[in-house]
Amino acid sequence: MNERVAGIIAKLERFMSQRKEAKPVPPDAGRFIHALLLAQRARHTVEIGTNYGYSGLWTAAALAETGGKMISIDHDPEKTKAAMATFEEAGLSAYVELRTGTAAEVLPSIDGPIDFVLSDADKDNCIQYVELTADKLRPGGVVLTDNAHTHAEELAGFLAWIRHRADFYTTTVSVGNGMELSVKRA
């Protein structure tokens, strides 16, 4: 990752520390996402929950190396506008397409194959998000669901459901707030 992007990440961390509604992944989770995308050589990623673009910066920085593109979805037009300004400042806007709307509205319009999905939005709809992307996810593709530790109670139904799907291998990774890593089987 270049110094420009690292500087924007640090700037965004300071900004979000002052905002109660900003709930980004922790820095170690951002680094994990970045490394995972590089290892996967991901080219087509989807982010559910743009927020102010923090995890998207880590994703877009990896996609700048792999030649890919991220579609990031958020229902809040002010946050998507702020996130795009951040991506532009970091020089990463070419690797990002922002879509404003609910994930349930936007996901059906996204074509596959998808390499990677980050689910970091409302926890009540995680099952629906997997159902809307599973058929588009390539074999070996990943669905990464944030907050597996910090929101374990809210995610209990989802975690039980995804762990019993025959088409995914799933494990909890103890990074950040806990991340459920679900790999689509061939």
Backbone angles phi, psi at 116, to 5 degrees: -155, 135
C-alpha span between 88 and 28 (Å, rounded): 23
Which has the closest alpha carbon to 95: 56, 121, 133, 140? 56
**pLDDT on residue 22:** 65
Report the interhelical angle of 126-133 vs 152-163 (nearest 10°). Answer: 30
Bond before 139 cis per omega within 30 degrees: no
Confidence of residue 176 (pLDDT cuts 50, 70, 90): very high
C-alpha span between 63 and 159 (Å, rounded): 28
pTM: 0.93
Give the pair of three-digit tokens for residue 115: 């390499």
- Please check whether residue 87 is in contact with residue 53, taking contact to mean a CB–CB distance below 8 angstroms: yes
Confidence of residue 52 (pLDDT cuts 50, 70, 90): confident
- 3-state class (DSSP) for residue 130: helix
For residue 13, the cross-strand partners are: none
**pLDDT on residue 27:** 84
Residue type, 108: P
The pLDDT tens digits of the residues spanning 13-36 come to 887 777 776 677 788 999 999 999
**pLDDT on residue 184:** 98
The pLDDT tens digits of the residues spanning 129-172 come to 999 999 999 999 999 999 999 999 999 999 999 999 999 999 99
The pLDDT tens digits of the residues spanning 88-136 come to 999 999 999 999 999 999 999 999 999 999 999 999 999 999 999 999 9
Strand segments (E) across the chain: 44-48, 69-74, 96-100, 114-119, 137-146, 168-173, 179-184
Give me the domains of the chain, ranges plus CATH numbers. 3-184 (3.40.50.150)
The distance of Cα 115 from the centroid of its chain, to the nearest Å, equals 12
Residue type, 54: Y
Report the interhelical angle of 3-17 vs 54-66 (nearest 10°). Answer: 170
